Amino acid sequence: MKAIVQYAYGSTDSLQLRDVERPVPRDDEVLVEVRAAGVDPSVWHLMTGRPYIARLSPELGLRRPAHVVRGWDAAGRVAAVGEKVTGFKPGDEVFGQCDGSFAEYARAKPEQLAAMPAGLSFVQAAALPVSGITALQALDLALPGPGQRVLVIGASGGVGTFAVQLAAHYGAEVTGVCGPGAADLVGSLGATDVIDYTREDITARAVRYDLVIDAAGNRSLSRLRRVLAPRGTVLFVGGEDGGPLLGGLDRQVRGLVLSLFVGQRLRPVFARTRQPDLLRLKALAETAAITPVIDRTYPLDDAVAAVRHLESGHPRGKLVVTV
pLDDT tens across 163-221, in order? 999 999 999 999 999 999 999 999 999 999 999 999 998 888 889 999 999 988 777 78
User: Are residues 152 and 246 located together in one domain of the fold?
Assistant: yes
Nearest to 75 by CA among 35, 26, 39: 35
With respect to residue 34, please indicate whether it lies within any of the assigned structural domains. Answer: yes
User: Are residues 79 and 98 located together in one domain of the fold?
Assistant: yes
Strands 294-299 and 318-322: parallel
Residue 138 corresponds to which amino acid?
Answer: A
**Which tens digit of pLDDT belongs to each residue from 51-79?**
666 666 777 767 778 689 999 999 999 99
Report whether 8 contacts 112 (CB < 8 A): no
| Domain harbouring 148, CATH code | 3.40.50.720
Report whether 311 contacts 44 (CB < 8 A): yes
What confidence tier does 44 reach under pLDDT thresholds 50, 70, 90?
confident
Residue 209: phi, psi to the nearest 5? -110, 145
Cis peptide before 315 (omega within 30 of 0): no
With respect to residue 281, please indicate whether it lies within any of the assigned structural domains. Answer: no
Residue 82, domain extent: 2-128+292-322
| Domain harbouring 47, CATH code | 3.90.180.10
User: Are residues 181 and 215 located together in one domain of the fold?
Assistant: yes
d(CA 164, CA 188): 10
User: Are residues 118 and 218 located together in one domain of the fold?
Assistant: no
Q: Is 242 helix (H, G, I), strand (E, B) or coil?
A: coil
With respect to residue 277, please indicate whether it lies within any of the assigned structural domains. Answer: no
User: Are residues 58 and 156 located together in one domain of the fold?
Assistant: no
Tell me the HSE value of 96 on the side-chain side, using a 13 A CA sphere: 31
**What is the arithmetic mean of pLDDT over 101-111?**
98
Please give the residue that has the higher pLDDT: either 203 or 16: 16
User: Are residues 195 and 242 located together in one domain of the fold?
Assistant: yes
Measured over the CA atoms of residue 87, residue 80, residue 279 and residue 117, the dihedral's sign is negative
Separate counts of helices (H) and strands (E) for the chain: 9, 15
**Which tens digit of pLDDT belongs to each residue from 291-320?**
999 999 999 999 999 999 998 777 999 999
Q: Which helix (H) or strand (E) holds 81?
A: strand 73-81
d(CA 136, CA 281): 8
Nearest to 34 by CA among 82, 68, 1: 1
With respect to residue 279, please indicate whether it lies within any of the assigned structural domains. Answer: no
User: Are residues 143 and 264 located together in one domain of the fold?
Assistant: yes
User: Are residues 249 and 141 located together in one domain of the fold?
Assistant: yes
Predicted local distance difference test score (pLDDT) of residue 69: 95
Predicted local distance difference test score (pLDDT) of residue 233: 96
> Residue 240: pLDDT above 60?
no
List, in sequence order, every beta strand (DSSP E) within 83-218: 93-97, 105-108, 113-115, 149-153, 173-178, 193-196, 209-214
User: Are residues 204 and 313 located together in one domain of the fold?
Assistant: no
With respect to residue 284, please indicate whether it lies within any of the assigned structural domains. Answer: no
* Number of domains, the chain: 2
The residues that bridge with 214 in the sheet, in sequence order, are 153, 236
With respect to residue 145, please indicate whether it lies within any of the assigned structural domains. Answer: yes
Nearest to 137 by CA among 286, 280, 285, 283: 280
Report whether 113 contacts 174 (CB < 8 A): no
User: Are residues 153 and 121 located together in one domain of the fold?
Assistant: no
User: Are residues 138 and 258 located together in one domain of the fold?
Assistant: yes
With respect to residue 278, please indicate whether it lies within any of the assigned structural domains. Answer: no
**Helices of type H across the chain:** 41-48, 122-126, 129-141, 158-169, 183-188, 221-226, 249-259, 275-286, 303-312
d(CA 181, CA 202): 17
Tell me the HSE value of 31 on the side-chain side, using a 13 A CA sphere: 14
With respect to residue 188, please indicate whether it lies within any of the assigned structural domains. Answer: yes
Q: Does the reported pTM lie above 0.75?
A: yes
Q: Residue 136 CA to chain centroid, in angstroms? A: 10
Q: Is 320 helix (H, G, I), strand (E, B) or coil?
A: strand
User: Are residues 71 and 146 located together in one domain of the fold?
Assistant: no
